[in-house]
A and B are shown apart, each in its own frame.
Chain A
Amino acid sequence: MAKFRGYRRADPGTQPDHLQPSYVSSIKRAPSKPLVYLPHTLSEVTGPSFDFSVIDVKASDLTRQHHGEPLGERIIVSGRVLDEDGRPAAHTLIEVWQANAAGRYRHNVDQHNAPLDPNFEGSGHALTDEQGNFRFITIRPGAYPWRNHYNAWRPAHIHFSVFGPAFATRLITQMYFPGDALLEFDPIFNCTADAKARNRLISLFDWETTVCEQALGYKFDIILSGRDSTPWEK
C-alpha cells in the first residue's frame, strides 16, 4: 500500500472565493466552473527552493537602496513563517512590494498623482532563517485611490509572496496595519468571509521590535498549509 501525505485544505471561509462581486476585477477573471479536487502528488508536495547565493542580503532593508533615505515613517516588519502545526518554514523566499509613503507605486501603470520618492523602490526580499524568522526595514506605505468604485481607497498594505516547502503551500497575501479606518470599506481585505481569518491579515504593533529613536515595530506571522496527519491511501 503506497502511503502519501499531502497538505491540508483550507477551512470554509478562511480563504476568499474567486468570485467577489464587490471586487470588480474578479467578475471576468474568476473561474465559473468548480475547481477539480486534486489529491496531492509528488508534483504538489515538492516545490521550488532558493538558496542564499541568489539572495541580496541588503534587500531586506528597503530604506537603504539609494543614496538618500526615503521619506515617511520608518518601520520594522518582522514575523515568522510557520505551518498550521507551528513548524517553521526555514530558508524560504519572501518577496515584498509596496507603495511609498505618499501612496504611489514605482510602476508605470500607477497614475495616482502623488509624488514618487527617488529614494524608494518599494521592493525587497529575504530568506527566512532556520526558525522561519524574517525582518524587513521599510517605511509605512500610504493609502491610495483606485477605480473599483466611486471614491475607493486601498488601506495601507504591504504585499507578501511566500513559497514554503511545497508547490501546495505557495501563498501571496497582503499585510495591513492596525487601526486603519479604510479596512472596513476595502473589498479586497473583506473578500475573506471569516472575520478571524481576515483580521489575521492585520499586523500587530509591537514594542519588543520597536527600536528606540529609530523605527516602530510591527509583527506579522504567515501561516502556510500544514501537512496531512494521515497518509493518502490507495
Chain B
Amino acid sequence: MSFQATSSQTVGPFFQIGLARFYIDDLTGPGICGETIEIVGRVFDGDGQLVPDGVIEIWQADAQGKYAHPELSAELENIQKNDIPAKEHMEGQRGEGAFRGFGRVPTQSDGSFRFKTIKPGRVPAPDGTLQAPHIAVSVFTRGLMRRLVTRIYFPDEPSNAADFALKLVKAGRRHTLIAKKVRGSQLEWNVVLQGKDETVFFDC
C-alpha cells in the first residue's frame, strides 16, 4: 500500500481559534534541570514589516540531550558499538522525562514572540557525531502555504563549528541561525521570511 502525503495549506489568519489551547510559552518547571533561557524575537516579512499573525513552534531535547520520544531507544541501537562516548552519552540519559520539549506561541501585534525554556543538550547526528545544542523551529503564518523549518543555535558555543546542519549552510548565512546574547539569560533570535538577511530555512 502506498499513499502520497496530504498537501499543506496555509494556517490562515484565524489559527488562534484552533491552536490557542496548546499554546505553551514556558517549557521549564519543577524538576526540570538545566540552564533556564528566554528566547525573544520578532518575525519580519520581505518589506521589513512585522508579522503579527504567525505562530512559532519549537521542539528540543532536554539539558542532557534527550528527546521526550521513543525514537531515542532506536537511535541507541544505531550508534556504533565502538562509539563509547556517544553510547554512554545516550544511555546515561534514559529514564528521565518531565521535560516535554514542545512549545508554541503566536506572534503578537508587534510581530514579537517569546519562549522560556532550558538550553538543550547535544544530540547525535546521523554521521555519529554530536550536534551542537539547537532548537528545531516551525514557522506558520498567513501567506505561507507550508511551514518554514529552521533552527536556533546558541552563541559562544564551540561545537557550532563542526555541527552537522550548520555545515550545510553557506558561512555567510549561518549567523541567521545563531541567537544573540541580550542580557542575563535572554537571547534574541529573529525570523526574516524574505530578503536581506533572510533566515536560513531547511528542506525538511
Contact = CB atoms under 8 A, between A and B. Distances in A.
**A pairs with B:** yes
B40 to A, nearest CB: 21
Nearest to B67: A46
Given A18-B144, A97-B15, A36 B194 contact: no
A35 B203 contact: yes
A174 B15 CA distance: 12
Contacts of B140: 172
A43 B131 contact: yes
A42 to B, nearest CB: 5
B84 interface: no
Contacts of A27: 46, 143
Given A97-B17, A109-B53, A170-B147, A159 B11 contact: yes
B47 interface: yes
A43 B21 contact: no
B39 interface: no
Contacts of B198: 31-33
Nearest to B59: A167
A201 B7 contact: yes
A70 B9 CA distance: 27
Contacts of B71: 42, 45-46, 166
A197 B134 CA distance: 34
B5 A84 contact: yes
Nearest to B125: A41
A38 interface: yes
A178 interface: no
Interface of A: 1-4, 6, 8-11, 14-18, 20, 23, 25-33, 35-50, 54, 59, 82-86, 93, 95-99, 105-107, 109-110, 121-125, 159, 161, 166-168, 170-174, 188-189, 191-192, 196-198, 200-201, 222-226, 232, 234
Interface of B: 1-22, 45-47, 49, 51, 53, 57, 59-61, 67-69, 71-72, 75, 78-80, 100-102, 123-128, 131, 134, 136, 138, 140-149, 151, 164-165, 168-169, 173, 193-195, 198-204
7 contacts: A18-B144, A27-B46, A47-B59, A86-B2, A159-B14, A201-B7, A226-B5
